[in-house]
Amino acid sequence: MPPRRRVPDDPPAPARPRGDPARGEAAGTAVPLIPADGSLAALRAAAAACRACDLWERGTQTVFGEGERSADVVFVGEQPGDREDLEGHPFVGPAGKLLERAIAEAGLERRSIYITNTVKHFKWEARGKKRIHQKPNANEIRACRPWLEAELAAIRPLAVVCLGATAAQALLGKEFKVTRQRGVPFATVFAPLAMGTVHPSSILRAPDEEARRAEMEAFVEDLRRLRAALERARRGTSPRPEAAQPP
C-alpha cells in the first residue's frame, strides 16, 4: 500500500519514544543505517526506514536516487518537492521536466545519468492548504549526507553535477558560490569531475519569459561544458586529476 500523504491539516504527530538506533534516531546521522552491502538496492531499502533527522515525520516517504549503478554522471539536487514526495521518485515535477530538457539539449546521454538529492525527505510548511518548500538546515543536511556519499561510493561516477547552492555547498564546500563558480568542472574526492550550477527550479522562478530563456541557455551551456570535459576524460586526453579545491 502506498504511504499516506501528509497534508497541512494533519494533527501533530503523537508523542513517541525517541532514539530507535535501528532507524538512526539516536545518532542524528544516517551512518549507522548504511548497510555493509553498499549496493543501490540495499541502500534504497535501508533509507526507506531512516529517521536520522525529523524530516521523516513531515515527508510522505524517503525519495531515494534513481538510475543505473553504471552511470557516468550523478546529478544532485536539494531535496524532493511536493510531487516527488507523493510519487516517491526524484525530479518528476516541473523542475525535473526542465532538467530532462536541458540534459537532452546538452547532448548528455540520459541512460548514463543517476539523479538524486542531498536530502531525501521533503521539508515543507503549511500555507493554507498548500505545502510550501522549506530549505533543509545544516543538521538535516549532515544527517542525510551518508546516503549521498554511499550512493556516490556505489556508483563511482566520472562526474557529479550539483544543482543549486544546497547541493554545491554540501559536496563542494561551504565557500562554493554557484553564481561565481558555476559551469567549471574540477576534481573532487567524489569524482574526477564535479561541477556546480543552478537548480532548474530557479529557472522556473525567473521573472519573465525572456529571463527564463536566458537562464535556460546558461544552464544548457554549463551542461555542454560538462559533456566536453567528459569526452576529454573518456578519450584520456584529460588525465584523472587528484582531488582539488573548487576554482
d(CA 80, CA 96): 10
Beta-carbon count within 10 A of 18 CB: 8
CB of 49 to ligand SF4, least distance (A): 9
Tell me the per-residue interface mask from 47 to 66 with ligand SF4, x by CB under 6 A, - otherwise.
x--xxxx-xx-----x----
Is the Cβ of residue 40 or residue 98 nearer to ligand SF4 in the bound state? 40
Q: Among 58, 120, 182, 199, which residue interacts with ligand SF4 (rule: CB under 6 A)?
A: 120
| C-beta of residue 50 within 8 angstroms of C-beta of residue 89 | no
34 is a site residue for ligand SF4 (CB under 6 A):
no
CB of 223 to ligand SF4, least distance (A): 27
d(CA 98, CA 103): 9
The number of C-alpha atoms within 13 Å of 232 and in the hemisphere containing its C-beta is 16
Chain positions 130 to 149 lying near ligand SF4, rule: CB under 6 A, are 140, 143-144
d(CA 175, CA 180): 11
Transcribe 118-135 into DSSP letters: SSSS--EEEETTEEEE--
Count of residues binding ligand SF4 (CB under 6 A)?
A: 15
Chain positions 183 to 202 lying near ligand SF4, rule: CB under 6 A, are none
Contact range with ligand SF4 by CB under 6 A, out of 4-12, 95-103, 117-125, 218-226:
117-125
Is the Cβ of residue 162 or residue 233 nearer to ligand SF4 in the bound state? 162
d(CA 61, CA 79): 12
CB of 88 to ligand SF4, least distance (A): 13
Helices (H), the chain: 40-47, 55-58, 82-87, 94-106, 138-155, 165-172, 178-181, 200-204, 209-235
Assign 3-state DSSP to the chain and report helix, strand, coil percentages, each to 5: 40, 10, 45
6 is a site residue for ligand SF4 (CB under 6 A):
no
CB of 2 to ligand SF4, least distance (A): 17
Is the Cβ of residue 47 or residue 98 nearer to ligand SF4 in the bound state? 47
CB of 220 to ligand SF4, least distance (A): 30
Is the Cβ of residue 22 or residue 211 nearer to ligand SF4 in the bound state? 22
| C-beta of residue 145 within 8 angstroms of C-beta of residue 105 | no
Is the Cβ of residue 50 or residue 98 nearer to ligand SF4 in the bound state? 50
- Chain residues in the site for ligand SF4 (CB under 6 A): 30, 47, 50-53, 55-56, 62, 119-121, 140, 143-144
